[in-house]
Amino acid sequence: QFLYFIGVPPGDSDMDATYIPPPPEGWDDTPEEPQPQRRAAPSPAATKVRAPADPATAAAAATRDAELQRAQELEAAVEAVDEGQRLLVDLDRRTNATREGMRAIQKKLRSTADRKTSVPVPRRKLPAAYYGRSSAAAGARATAQTTTAPLTARDGWMCAEAAAESAANPMAPQWLFTSAGVFLRTRMAAAESKLSLELRELSEATEEAREELKAAVCDVARLEGADSALSRLQQGFDLK
């Protein structure tokens, strides 16, 4: 009986204990088809029309929603104030840097106002006819000048070596003697004009940023209510 209980038929005790006896006669191994589940009918309690909510509960829910919306608006207003402060700090830094550049340029212009030294400055590789005079005439004028006389870019005088080279080869590159102060003042004046334009644009941007920051601060004071420190500040000073 014990061997039959563990799956070994009587008389076959030498067989493996994992022997599974055959199914009894009339046993059907075909799996059953799943039957569609019928949806239960709703209970009468579920189909009952709900009674209107309590007015006090509805008012509490509306108040809670209003408080949540006000908190979200207050958070956005505080972020706008922080962003406006960062923008003003950046504009102030850029304005100070531009003013420092303006002062440096003006100082450089004052130091080179009476500068009369002459230095060779490379020019574009153009023929002498491009400057409105022939090479021979330019050489004659350059030879007639002394080495100590100040030369300017306005006259377009050339040194004797450049005049001789251009006379032999009109397409050779030319070098002009010019006053360093003239070129320096021209470039510095252009830089000064550009920086002054940037200062004007920075001033306008700073004014707009201040107005936006004031509006954001007023929004914070309005959202915080009558107990806000900003609201008490508005009583003595109009932020708008």
Residue 22 counted as domain residue: no
> Domain tally for the chain?
2
DSSP 133-181: S-HHHHHHHHHHS-TTS---TTTT-B-HHHHHHHHH-TTS--EEEEEHH
Question: Average of pLDDT values for 68-72?
Answer: 84
Residue 128 counted as domain residue: yes
Question: Average of pLDDT values for 212-231?
Answer: 78
Same domain flag for 103 and 72? yes
Domain boundary pick from 134, 151, 173: 173
Residue 35 counted as domain residue: no
Residue 169 counted as domain residue: yes
**Is the full-model pTM beyond 0.75?**
no
Same domain flag for 190 and 232? yes
Q: Are the C-beta atoms of 77 and 218 separated by less than 8 Å?
A: no
Which pair of tokens denotes residue 20?
């599974």
As a whole number of angstroms, the distance between CA 79 and CA 240 comes to 19
The H or E element that residue 210 is part of is: helix 180-224
Same domain flag for 91 and 194? yes
Model confidence at 71: pLDDT above 70: yes
Which pair of tokens denotes residue 30?
């075909």
Q: Are the C-beta atoms of 177 and 158 separated by less than 8 Å?
A: yes
Model confidence at 94: pLDDT above 80: yes
Same domain flag for 227 and 145? no
The DSSP 8-state label assigned to residue 47 in this structure reads S
What pLDDT is recorded for position 220?
Answer: 84
Residue 194 counted as domain residue: yes
For residue 9, give every residue at least 6 positions away whose Cβ sits within 8 Å of its Cβ, in sequence order, or none: 3, 15, 19, 21
* In the chain, beta strands by DSSP E: 118-122, 175-179
Q: Are the C-beta atoms of 132 and 201 separated by less than 8 Å?
A: no
Same domain flag for 192 and 108? yes
What pLDDT is recorded for position 231?
Answer: 57
Query: In terms of residue numbers, what domain contains 144?
Result: 124-173
Same domain flag for 190 and 161? no
Same domain flag for 103 and 195? yes
Same domain flag for 130 and 166? yes
Same domain flag for 220 and 196? yes
Average pLDDT, the chain: 66
Model confidence at 43: pLDDT above 70: no
What pLDDT is recorded for position 174?
Answer: 43
Residue 136 counted as domain residue: yes
What pLDDT is recorded for position 155?
Answer: 37
pLDDT digits (tens, 9 = 90+) for 183-201: 556 677 778 888 888 899 9
Residue 28 counted as domain residue: no
In a 10 Å sphere around its CB, with 0-12 CB exposed, 13-18 middle and 19+ buried, how is residue 10 labelled?
Answer: exposed
Residue 61 counted as domain residue: no
pLDDT digits (tens, 9 = 90+) for 125-183: 444 444 444 444 444 444 444 333 444 443 343 444 445 555 555 554 444 444 445 55
